[in-house]
Amino acid sequence: MLPKSFQACQRKFGPVRYIKKASMIRFNNITKVYQVKAAGHKRVVALDGISFGVEKGEFVSVVGRSGAGKTTLFKLLLMEEKPTGGSVLYKNENIYKFKPKNINNLRRNVGAVFQDYKLLPNMTVTENIAYVMKVIGSSDAEIRRDIPKILEIVELEDRAQNFPAELSGGEAQRAAIARALIHRPEVVLADEPTGNLDPYHTLDILKLFLKINEMGTTVILASHNREIINKLKKRVVTLDQGKIVRDEAKGRFSL
């Protein structure tokens, strides 16, 4: 069914091709059911018929109680998990039909801050960040030039040569943020990126996300931190038990 306004257009101007606006990312009726083997293949419904799109340059917060399915949603986008049903479109293409090369490209275009950081344990902070740059093929000169800058932004200059095990929780989180942003990805996926930060750093990181968003980067933030969501005054998608219960522009955190 075409939109009303478009039908009006057609009456006025004759046949016009309708181009559906392409979202940057689109979740189409996504369902994810985990099977817990140790519990006799008990089924856990993490996501239950989720549909929403994220436009280029948008800043979207996905909120919900612990266990609502936020991380699962991110995992599906990064193809860490396969959906039980539905599809995920990236620039109008079904990512689950991607060839390995396209999968790699998708992952390079999406900078992710993982809830559990996922820093490479055998590499220092600098090496961790450099790894992503090496993967996308940055030159050595770029690596030498950019890493000190990002470390300064997240205030980790003093921990550049530390291994992840030698970092505090907040420092590791900031290292993970630096790694996610270093190569200026089109989309930033940040899963509870301030969960381990003190209020001072939390504010700093939020400002950083807002700044890169202003520069055109699409940001998707998952959080259950009421305060920061309300401060953002951006679109909020609220999940509850795997379903979208609210999707509001300039939304507030309410459960």
Ligand X SMILES: Nc1ncnc2c1ncn2[C@@H]1O[C@H](COP(=O)(O)OP(=O)(O)OP(=O)(O)O)[C@@H](O)[C@H]1O
Q: Name the segment binding other proteins (CB under 8 A); options: 8-16, 55-63, 65-73, 133-141.
A: 133-141
Contact window for ligand X (CB under 6 A) among 63-71, 119-127, 134-142, 174-182: 63-71
Q: Does 136 bind other proteins (CB under 8 A)?
A: yes
- Is residue 107 near ligand X by the rule CB under 6 A? no
Considering the complex, state which of residue 65 and residue 207 has its C-beta at the smaller distance from ligand X.
65
Q: Is 91 in the site for other proteins (CB under 8 A)?
A: no
Is there binding between residue 112 and other proteins (CB under 8 A)?
yes
Among 16, 22, 36, 249, binds ligand X (CB under 6 A): 36
Residue 166 touching other proteins (CB under 8 A): no
d(CA 153, CA 34): 38
Q: Which residues pair with 54 in a beta bridge?
A: 25
15-45 b/e with 16+ CB inside 10 Å = b?
eeeeeeeebbbbbbebebeeeeeeeeeeeee
SS3 state at 56: coil
Could you tell me if residue 57 is left (phi over 0), alpha (psi between -120 and 50 degrees) or otherwise beta?
left
DSSP string, 135-188: HHT--HHHHHHHHHHHHHHTT-GGGTT--GGGS-HHHHHHHHHHHHHTT--SEE
Instruction: Report what 248 binds from Mg ion, ligand X, other proteins, none; CB cut-off 5-8 Å by kind.
Output: none
Applying CB under 6 A, which of residues 23, 61, 115, 128 lies at the interface with ligand X? 115
Closest CA to 112 of 44, 164, 57, 181: 181
**Closer CB to Mg ion, residue 23 or residue 71?**
71
Residue 71 lies near ligand X (rule: CB under 6 A): yes
Q: Which is nearer to Mg ion, 156 or 180 (CB)?
A: 180
d(CA 112, CA 183): 11
Stretch that binds other proteins, among 65-73, 130-138, 193-201, 243-251 (CB under 8 A): 130-138
Q: Which of 12, 19, 122, 215 binds other proteins (CB under 8 A)?
A: 122
Q: Which residues contact 69 (CB under 8 A, 6 or more apart)?
A: 32, 46, 47, 50, 239, 241, 242
Contact 161, 112 (CB under 8 A): no
Q: Which residues bind ligand X (CB under 6 A)?
A: 34, 36, 44, 46, 64, 66-72, 115, 224
Binding residues for other proteins, rule: CB under 8 A, are: 78, 80, 100-101, 104-108, 112, 114, 118-123, 127, 131-132, 134-137, 139-140, 179
